[in-house]
Structure 1
Amino acid sequence: MVFLHWCVLLLFGFLIGLTTSLMWWNLVRMKIVQKVKVVLTDRAAEGMMYASEGSAGLDVVSCENVTIVPGKSVIISSGIRMKIPRGFYAHLVSRSGLSVKKGVFVINSPGIIDNDYHEEIRVCLYNANNEAFDVRRGDRIAQLLLMPLYKMSFKKVDAKRLGEGRGFGFGSSGGFSE
């Protein structure tokens, strides 16, 4: 009888292991794509795209010609309106090449786009360079990332229950030379 129990347990364990392995294999092979309803309010917005198969962010393009003078910011039309699915939100972030090479970046990066915002997405670019920067219609100016939304709930506790923290913040842990 004990032998039969061991055989059943081994078979059960094998089946669970096989099922788990197959599930992980399917996750590795699977491309996770979330459908998002979008309205393009300008033909230039048709240029939004993922630059490569592995790109995390969708390139957002300018729908207008604008010059950004040094030390100033400009809000630029993207021509995109979307309905972000429930349980998600979007980050609007700088393009690395534009910020590193030209000193132009999304000033509030990451810009948060809530899933109940359905108006046109606009990009606020800042020019940190010493020269004026021309943005042309169709230029890739930012990246849009779809993010899972996690909400917080709070439970009031006595300060002692939080434990001892390191305190101060704003560089108090070190990591840079003064």
Structure 2
Amino acid sequence: MNATETKVPARGKALVPTDLSIAVPEGIYSSPRSGLTWKHCIDVGAGVVDADYRGPVGVILFNHSDVDFEVKIGDRIAQLIIEKIIVPEVEEVDDLDSTVGGSGGFGSTGA
């Protein structure tokens, strides 16, 4: 929930304060509420709260519509998903194994 009324300008963005602080052992990111996205063209910007962050959490909202969007105090604007982060060991190599997809990317496998 947001702590203050905030205007998200048409075709713009705004940082909405929550006045909530959290302590987490692993990464957290916010996910858009489907109602806001579908009904109002409002999207939640991706963000990660690091395990050592202790300040208030803010939610970045993007307005893809042609009209301003008013966020009222107490509106449910985002959800928090707690997700375990696995940090892989990175190994530098000279060559990679060949795959069907190769290096085409972005739909090159036909999916």
TM-score, normalised to structure 2, is 0.90
Distance 2:93 2:24 in 1: 35
Distance 1:84 1:93 in 2: 17
Q: Partner residue of 1:79? A: 19
Distance 1:174 1:72 in 2: 34
Asked whether 1:106 is paired with 2:106, we answer no
**Does structure 2 conserve the Cα–Cα contact (< 8 Å) formed by 1:62 and 1:77?**
yes
**Does structure 2 conserve the Cα–Cα contact (< 8 Å) formed by 1:92 and 1:143?**
yes
Distance 1:172 1:94 in 2: 28
Q: What 5-or-longer segments of structure 1 have no aligned partner?
A: 1-60
Distance 1:99 1:70 in 2: 14
- Between the two structures, name the one with larger relative contact order (CA 8 Å, sep ≥ 6): 2
Distance 2:110 2:9 in 1: 35
Q: Partner residue of 1:96? A: 34
Q: Partner residue of 1:11? A: none
Aligned ranges 1:42-61 → 2 under 5 Å: 61=1
Percent identical pairs in the alignment equals 28
Q: What 5-or-longer segments of structure 2 have no aligned partner?
A: none
Aligned ranges 1:1-178 → 2 under 5 Å: 61-85=1-25, 88-107=26-45, 109=46, 111-159=47-95, 162-165=96-99, 166-175=102-111
Aligned-pair CA distance for 1:171:
2.7
Aligned-pair CA distance for 1:164:
0.8
* Structure of larger gyration radius: 1
Aligned CA RMSD, in angstroms, stands at 1.3
1:48-79 residue CA offsets vs partner (Å, 9 max, x unmatched): xxxxxxxxxxxxx1111112121100001011
**Does structure 2 conserve the Cα–Cα contact (< 8 Å) formed by 1:92 and 1:113?**
no
Aligned-pair CA distance for 1:89:
1.1
TM-score, normalised to structure 1, is 0.58
How many residues are aligned here? 109
Any idea what SS the aligned residue of 1:148 has?
A: coil
- Structure with bigger strand share is 2
Distance 2:19 2:64 in 1: 25
Please identify runs of 4+ aligned residues in structure 1 that moved more than 4 A. none
Distance 2:71 2:52 in 1: 29
